[in-house]
Amino acid sequence: MAVNGVRIMGILNVTPDSFSDGGSFASFEAAVAQADRLIADGADILDVGGESTRPFAAEVSTEEELRRVIPVIEAVRRRHRLPISIDTTKAVVAEAALKAGADIINDISALRKDPAMLTVVRNTTVPVIIMHMQGTPADMQVRPVYTDVVREVSAFFAERLDWLAENGVARHRLILDPGIGFGKTLHHNLSLLKHLDDLSALGVPVLVGHSRKRFLGEIAAIPAEAERDLATAVASALCAAKKIAIIRVHNVAATRQALLVAEAIGNAA
């Protein structure tokens, strides 16, 4: 159940090499058990991904990505009714995932990588998450450069929104993800989080995916990714005050607690 209007998206990486939890839920049984755990902890949405997008990650084949995600989506849909998001840049995977029971397309390339993704999106009415990324996972963190990161990310989304509208995708279906950690330095990430209001001004819901990211480790001197849940929860509470729509995290319980406390303080007399 959303807290103060913010929905929590639980991350389920069905991969052997994802950032933070790669390999932990690569097997079918482990993935389904983790889905159950995230949902019991209060996830409003489950985001299933079968290809790592960590810095310098290599691509996987369509066949392998399908093998990883489709059985898990089918199993979760049989067991639960909450919305399921498919995290993919491949049209074939997105289409198969929707048929298997997914409800949302989460494309970190903002429909720029696979030309066929536009057709899949136009043939459905599901929500679509589009993300900003400078470069690709293979090179995005080599040397990200911006003159004004907030202005440039906002301009990117304005262009994407116009392009999608021109190509028959209704604006009300779209959700914007500024791509924290995707082609950004520590200072770029902090500036985007501070100025989330600028993205919300575009009139489209905003999703923030900062969970366990490297910039949190840099700030708090926490090298181990799995130990950054407290830092993630603090940032989640601060982001929620910006009236964003969705927070995407690994540890749903910790972020839910942070949001509940922030909500209670905000509603106090």
Catalytic residue ranges: 213, 248
- E strand segments, the chain: 7-13, 45-49, 84-87, 104-107, 128-131, 174-177, 207-208, 246-249
Structure tokens given for 217 = 């480790």
Neighbour count for residue 223 (Cβ, 10 Å): 9
Q: Is the dihedral of CA 161, 129, 52, 71 positive or negative?
A: negative
Distance CA 23, CA 107 (A): 22
Residues 62, 89: contact at Cβ < 8 Å? no
